[in-house]
Amino acid sequence: MSKHKGISDLAKREERLAYWLLLPTFIILLVIAFYPLGSVFYNSLTNKVFASDQPVEFVGLENYSRLLSMTIRRLPPVLDASGNPEVNPETGEPVYARSLDVLPREPRRYREAMQFSFLGNRYVVGATDRDFVRGIFDTLRFTVFSVVLETVLGLGIAMVVNTKFTGRGAMRAVMLVPWAIPTAVSSRMWQWMFQSTRVGFFNVVFQGLGLIESPIPFLTEQTWQVPAMIAIDVWKTTPFMALLLLAGLQLIPGDIYEAADVDGASKLRQFFTITLPLLRPTLAVALVFRTLDALRVFDLFQIVLAQSRYSMASFTYYQLTNNRAMGYSSASSVIIFILIFVFAVVYIQLLGGVDAE
Amino acid sequence: MNKQTQQILKRVLFWVVIVFIFVYMLFPFYWAINSSLKTEAQLQMTPATFVPRDPATLSFSPTLRNYGAVFRNDKFISGLLNSAIVSGITTVVALSVGAFAAFALGKLRFRGRTPSLYLILAMTMFPQVAVLTGLYAVINALGISAIPGMILSYMLFTLPFTAWVLTSFFRELPMEIMQSAQVDGATPFQTFYMILLPLTMPALVTTGLLAFIAAWNEYLFALTFTSITPQYRTVPVAIALFTGEIARQEPFGEIMAAAVLVTIPLILLVLIFQQKIVAGLTAGAVKG
């Protein structure tokens, strides 16, 4: 081993340098994150009420089970006098029993979170906290759609502004405008454009094009709420993706493409064999941060939809501010944390990126 | 189709795409400008007009009243200054501290690399409201005022971001560049700031811009930490708390005017820095 002493000395020096370089980051994070995050974990196991003298009791996993308890029950069809399934004369759909009648009430009361049909049967999903369960599903839907759209659009835009053309500098500034407007303000802007009457831009345009008969209340009608949120977020955050991917494209050496041109590889082929693989680490890190932000989306939902529909984070916010339920909201925060952690690990395992050796 | 028409077709298609991106990115902003030039009555007109028009005669009649009101609002002006200070310092600190960490995480071999990466990322996985009360207690315990308090708390989302993004970019650089520098007798630190940093300039500028904007736009922390010291409010908080000089209800026109004004400095910033987002350095460096 003594033969390698020189090398291992070098390795030790490298290791020491690495620790010194990481020290400032960990000091800062220790100061600002250790106590707040620790208290979130701790509070999530208690019934703590915010700004109150009420004694704090340790309740174990009670908060978690209240947030996450779910059950699925089959809804039996309603039979008419002759024993045949009853049919709604207006819609032609069969009539099912009320979810209230099939969902358990003891020891806790389950409320309907959603319904779905599967193999000809009708089912109801009941939850002890249906707002949170709906919040989880809505946030996941929001995250999947907006992140996919942002990645595709962002990559397209990044490749366009990566080519040389007159006005490229101005174009790069233009593409960042949506990201530069504070969310607190841009959400209001879009809220105004989505107005339910013809004061709103979209209703004016859609009606002008003859696409709709009467104005659509985008922000109050259940089916339109989440798509509207996705539309706003895609517009707002595509620039983030585009700029990050642009920097990634810049680091791909141009001579690789020259060589590919000489070999006669088509542009499409070059995209799949050169651009995408070399962009993968940047793509991975961009996806991690985008997904993380989308899963904890807050301002957008809180400003535009307030309490008519929740994201996981806005649910947490209203639990804390309206009900002052600090223990309960801490538990929902921890659930968000775990979900994000799972997403991050899956991404990094699938895409390699920073973690790969 | 001969080669020449194919070329022309390609150019046309390219510019169609450019125009499409231009309109998509800017139209909502245009709508904000349009709304900011309208009076309360004009805002309520149906159907909404694409330029401010007089409700009776439908002639073009913009108003600058909203802008006047924003400029007379000294909370907005001081908010701009506070935002510039907070975001500027946040960016510089997050970028330099993050770059050190990224150098270690991206280019050096040491035990505990992967756990360090995950630990740093985990700091930013909680919703902001969750850590708000705890963070407030920490800021109070440290006894620092609102501005350094905001800068410190913004590290919670900017530092993991800069550290991770820079790590991924540093890793991209071929190891040979560093090794040849070491052979030439450069210390690791010299390699870092004389070779690594210049070569990843596009990444540094991009990361810095994104971190700056994230800090500039932050709302919830700023609202909380300046609640007892309103003179330190940042601009998103100032806008959100507009009570309206003209309108009795919500001053929507003024909010839109402020939105336009607050975006202009950022556009200038991007225009200045985007020139740095070009390759060139790396292209030659990787050869050989």
Query: pLDDT (tens digit, 9 = 90+) per residue, B199-226?
Result: 888 889 889 999 999 999 999 899 989 9
Residue A137 token pair: 């599903």
Q: Do B32 and A25 touch (CB under 8 A)?
A: no
Q: How far is CA A150 from CA A146, A232, B36, in A?
A: 6, 11, 28
Per-residue pLDDT tens digits for B24-39: 998 889 988 999 999 8
Q: What is the percent of chain B with per-residue pLDDT over 90, rounded to a whole number? A: 37
| Residues paired with residue A58 on neighbouring β-strands, in sequence order | A46
Please check the confidence at residue A187 and state whether its pLDDT lies above 50: yes
A14, A169, A207 ranked by CB distance to B109: nearest:
A14
Q: B149 and B217 in one domain?
A: yes
Q: pLDDT category, B284, cuts 50, 70, 90?
A: very low
Cβ contacts of B288 on chain A, cutoff 8 Å: none
Contact A65, A133 (CB under 8 A): no
Mean pLDDT of A166-181: 87
**Among candidate residues B63, B85, B116, the one where a domain is terminated:** B63
**Res A111: pLDDT:** 86
Question: Do the beta carbons of residue B233 and residue B258 sit within 8 Å?
Answer: no
Q: Do B131 and A200 touch (CB under 8 A)?
A: no
One domain, residues B13 and B138: no
Bridge partners (DSSP) of residue A111 are A127
Please give the average per-residue pLDDT across A174-199, as a whole number.
86
Q: What is the mean pLDDT of chain A?
A: 87
Exposure b/e, A279-293, CB count within 10 A at least 16 = b: bbbbbbbbbbbbbbb
Question: Which chain A residues touch B155 with a CB distance below 8 Å?
Answer: 28-29, 32
Question: How far is B154 from B160, CA to CA, in rounded Å?
Answer: 10
- Sorting pLDDT into bands at 50, 70 and 90, what band is A116? confident
A/B interface, count of CB pairs below 8 Å: 311
| pTM higher than the cut 0.80 | yes
Bin A216: left if φ > 0, else alpha if -120 < ψ < 50, else beta: beta
- For residue A179, the chain B residue with the least C-alpha distance is B213
Direct distance between the N- and C-terminal alpha carbons of chain A, in angstroms, rounded to an integer: 25
Q: What's residue B279's pLDDT?
A: 54
Q: Which of B46, B63, B80 is the last residue of a domain?
A: B63
Q: Mark whether B4 and B127 lie in a shared domain.
A: no
Closest partner residue to A173 (CB to CB) among B111, B124, B274 is B274
> Could you report the predicted ipTM of this complex, rounded to two decimals?
0.87
pLDDT of B281: 46
- List Cα–Cα distances, A158 to A240, A277, A294, B206, B239, in angstroms: 10, 16, 21, 12, 32
User: Contacts of residue A246 in chain B, CB cutoff 8 Å?
Assistant: 202, 206, 277
Strand partners, A85: A79
CA distance, residue B65 to nearest chain A CA (Å): 19
Which structural domain, as residue segments, surrounds residue B74?
70-285
For residue A64, the model assigns a pLDDT of 92
Cα distance between residue A178 and residue A238, in whole Å: 8
B104 interfacial to chain A (CB closer than 8 Å): yes
Report helix, strand or coil for A77: strand
Nearest CA to B236 out of B266, B268, B274, B269 is that of: B266
| Tokens standing for residue A317 | 């916010």
pLDDT at A356: 53
Mean pLDDT calculated for residue range A151-155: 95
On whether both B225 and B156 belong to a single domain, the answer is: yes
Contact check, Cβ <8 Å, B14/A165: yes
Do B117 and B53 share a structural domain? Answer: no
Tell me what the mean pLDDT of segment A110-139 comes to: 88
**In the predicted model, what is the mean pLDDT of residues A163-181?**
87
Q: Tell me: do B81 and B53 sit in the same domain.
A: no
Q: Where are the alpha helices (DSSP H) in B37-145?
A: 40-43, 65-72, 74-107, 113-122, 128-142
Q: Where are the alpha helices (DSSP H) in B113-193?
A: 113-122, 128-142, 146-172, 175-183, 188-191
| Contacting residues for B124 by C-beta, under 8 A, at least 6 apart | A292, B156, B157, B160, B161
**So what's the architecture of A131-355 in CATH?**
Orthogonal Bundle (1.10)
From B254's Cα to the closest Cα of chain A, the distance in A is 11
Residues B118-156 pLDDT 10s? 999 998 898 888 888 899 999 999 999 999 999 999 999
Mutation site for A-interface testing, chosen from B70, B121, B200 by largest number of A Cβ within 10 Å? B121
Min Cα distance A188 → chain B (Å) is 9
Q: Give yes or no for residue B51 having a pLDDT over 70.
A: yes
List B residues 151-190 in contact with A (Cβ-Cβ < 8 A): 152-153, 155-156, 159-161, 163-165, 167-169, 171-172, 188-189
The gap between the terminal CA atoms of chain B, to the nearest Å, is 42
**Domain spans in chain A, listed from the N-terminal domain onward:** 70-128, 131-355
Our measurement of the distance from residue A20's CA atom to the centroid of its chain's CA atoms, rounded to an integer in Å, reads 35
Residues B84, B13, single domain; the answer is no
pLDDT recorded at residue A354: 58
Cα distances from B95 to residues A33, B98, B103, B211, in angstroms, run 19, 5, 12, 8
Which of A172, A329, A336 is facing B274, going by the closest CB pair?
A172
d(CA B205, CA B144): 30
CATH number of B93's domain:
1.10.3720.10
Domain C-terminal end among B63, B86, B104 = B63
Q: Which of A3-12, A95-104, A277-286, A301-310 has the lowest mean pLDDT?
A: A3-12
DSSP conformation class of A275: I
Q: Assign B288 a pLDDT band (cuts: 50, 70, 90).
A: very low
Asked if residue A7 has pLDDT above 80, the reply is: no
Is the pLDDT at B285 greater than 60, yes or no? no
Answer whether B106 touches A (CB < 8 Å): yes
* pLDDT of A10 above 50: yes
- Both tokens of A25, joined, read 């980051």
Domain count, chain B: 2
Portion 80-139 of A in contact with B at CB < 8 A: none
Do residues A127 and A113 lie in contact, with contact meaning Cβ atoms separated by under 8 Å?
yes
Q: What is the mean pLDDT of residues B92-96?
A: 96
